Structure 1
Amino acid sequence: MDTAMPPGADELIYRDATEADVPALVELVESAYRGDSSRAGWTTEADILDGQRTDPEGVREVITSPGSRLLVVERAGTIVACCQLEHRGDAAYFGMFAVRPGLQGGGLGRRVLTAAERLAADAWGAREMHMTVISVREELIAWYERRGYRRTGRTSPFPYGDERFGLPRRDDLRFELLVKDLTGAPTAG
């Protein structure tokens, strides 16, 4: 019995999201960060936040906003990951990053992040990639640091009281800005 995958079955397809993708993308993001399903991966925020991570309106806004792209990653016709890219002058913002929980830890996230960095540099001439991460997510921040991102120490408040961002289970949440140089030059600090 031949158990080998057909040629190209493991190939990743990258494309821009469309409005038809909104329900599947909301489900993907929620599954990666909230509730019991998120515990199958390592990116869960279920211990620090309840409620939603995103909603159809938020995903639709990323898809339709000028200077913004929501990159969809498919394997064998199934959406397996996504990320937001937003053009901000010399920088690009990276967000709404989600990988199916059962596929986390196998290198897929690293491949998607690398592709997003290359796309931001090539399409927009971005010299830096910026992202914000909840500062108590030490394991996640360490993962980004291993990929060349540096902590800036610049923080912004968590939007307590705005249920669109979830229901905090603790009172010390804030976002920290992480930055990566995309030009290949060494970064200071």
Structure 2
Amino acid sequence: MDRPATGLTFRDATDADVDALVALIESAYRGDSSRTGWTTEADILEGQRTDPQGVLEVIKAPRSRLLTVEQDGRIVACCQLEDRTDHAYFGMFAVSPAMQGAGLGKVVMAEAERLARETWGATEMQMAVISVRDDLIAWYERRGYRRTGRMKPFPYGDERYGIPQRTDLRFEVLVKPLV
């Protein structure tokens, strides 16, 4: 496996980043471009993963930040962090398919966890992952997250989150202590 990319810059997203962030997130999860990486959801969901309004809402939300990672002036990864008082929430995680498998995701997660601890005093990180994504859940488990068995419904009928290609989709909550 390659070493993680060097020369990375971490910063909070701005309104000017919205189009680039939407393109990154879509490329990591939807359509043929996502198949070059391992995080694709193209076989279980069609349509969009997010849209400019959804990304802008995360950027503008109070107690939230969209951590953006650049290399050579190009956005290569991002993740949402949200202070939910009793825990931090991690979402909207995307790594450019061309850079997946080289350790960048691990670097981004470690920085997100550090920021949640140091900025908000978070002692736990939570996320919701589509429960049929066994490979992705296993990746998170190797990073210290554990399955809770708590499920949340998938928003069937709301095409802002994609068009499901199967009827058994739901989200499982994963947690990790940050102390």
Q: Does the alignment reach a TM-score above 0.5? A: yes
1:70 counterpart (46, 66, 71): 66
In 1, Cα distance between the equivalents of 2:12 and 2:133?
28
| 2:23 counterpart SS class | helix
**Using the alignment, how far apart are the partners of 1:147 and 1:85 within structure 2?**
17
Q: Contact 1:152/1:176 (CA < 8 Å) preserved in 2?
A: yes
Question: Aligned partners of 1:147 and 1:14: how far apart in 2?
Answer: 20
Which of these residues, 106, 115, 124, is aligned with residue 102 of structure 2? 106
Q: Aligned to 1:38, which of 10, 34, 41?
A: 34
> Which deviates more, 172-181 or 9-18?
9-18
Pick aligned residue for 2:171 from 161, 164, 175 = 175
2:137 aligned to 135, 141, 154, which one?
141
Retained in 2: the 8 A contact 1:43–1:140? yes
Which residue identity does 2:59 align to in structure 1? I
Aligned with 2:79 (options 62, 77, 83)? 83
Q: Residue 49 in 1 paired to residue 45 in 2?
A: yes
Matched to 1:55, the amino acid is D
Q: Is the 8 A contact 1:41 1:102 kept in 2?
A: yes
**Count of matched residue pairs:** 175
Q: What's the secondary structure of 2:166's corresponding residue?
A: coil
2:112 equivalent in structure 1: 116
Question: Which residue pairs with 1:128 in the alignment?
Answer: 124
Tell which has more relative contact order, 1 or 2 (C-alpha 8 A, sep 6+). 2
Mark the structure with the bigger radius of gyration: 1
Of 12, 34, 39, the match for 2:8:
12
Gapped regions of structure 2 (runs ≥ 5):
none
For residue 181 of structure 1, report the CA deviation from its aligned partner: 0.2
Using the size of structure 1 for normalisation, the TM-score is: 0.92
Query: How far 1:10 sits from its partner (Å)?
Result: 2.7
User: Identical aligned pairs, as a percentage?
Assistant: 73
What is residue 5 of structure 1 aligned with on the other side? Answer: none
For residues 126 and 93 of structure 1, the distance between their equivalents in structure 2, rounded to whole angstroms, comes to: 10
1-side partners of 2:99 and 2:174: how far apart? 24
Letter in 1 for 2:73: G
- Aligned match of 1:92: 88
Say whether 1:160 aligns with 2:161: no
Alpha-carbon distance between aligned partners in 2 of 1:69 and 1:10, rounded to the nearest angstrom: 23
* Residue of structure 1 equivalent to 2:23: 27
CA distance in 2, matches of 1:163, 1:169: 12
